[in-house]
Each structure stands twice: as C-alpha cells, then as structure tokens.
Amino acid sequence: MPLRRGELARRAGCNIETVRYYERIGLMPNPTRSENGFRSYEERHLTRLTFIRRARELGFTLEEVQDLLRLVDGGHYTCAQVQELALRHTDDIQRKINDLHRMQRALKEMSAQCSGEEVPKCPIIEILSETS
C-alpha cells in the first residue's frame, strides 16, 4: 500500500523535512506521483529511509551513507567492503573520543584555576582570551 510522505517519515522515525532533504540531495529516490499529484512512497522507500536513519544514528556522515548506499544500489558489494567502511568510521569515532578527552582535561585544568566566587576576574576567561 502506498505511503504519503508524512506516514513514511513517521514509520521511519524521522520528520518530513528530513525526507525532503534526503530527496533533494539524492539519498532518497524520487517517489512516483498518484493521480491526484501526491507523492506515493513504497516499501523500498521506507527500507532505504530506515537504513539512512540508522546509519546516521551511528554517526556516519552523509558522505559515508552515500558510500554505503552506492554499494547497496550496485548490488555487488561484499561484506569486506562494508566492513572496511565500518572500521574506518570506528577509527573516526575513536579520534573524536580522544579529542573530547583532551578537551575535557583542558577544561578541568582551567576550572581548577577558578575560585568559583562572585568576583569580576575569572582565570577561565583570561586563558581563553590569551593571544600568545
């Protein structure tokens, strides 16, 4: 049974603007139009939108999602190809985690220099304002 855009978005767990955006950038294929001019989505659209949403939830960039979809759309992908993309993404996640830990340490060090009192001078502001 054909779906309208709102129902497609609801069933996939995203919003209508997301569907529109994915159509505009080419992640989602254009739907057919019914006789009354409404977009008519099929189960394949729901499957694809769900795939995109889940990949995005795992932190894949839009470019990485496009890479995955190219493999799927080509129909000649191997598990090794998908694994390579997933492991590359895992490395990116680890780099981000390391960066977040560095930022956390820096903020803790700056905060340790602050008295936390109701005074007009704050070491955190001074550190952030340093030009050298």
Provide mean pLDDT across the span 36-56: 94
Nearest to 28 by CA among 5, 10, 1: 5
Nearest to 2 by CA among 46, 50, 48, 41: 41
pLDDT one-digit tens code per residue, 55-96: 999 999 999 999 999 999 988 889 999 999 999 999 999 999
Report whether pLDDT(3) > 80.
Answer: yes
pTM over 0.95: no
Provide mean pLDDT across the span 90-115: 92
Provide mean pLDDT across the span 32-54: 93
Report whether pLDDT(100) > 90.
Answer: yes
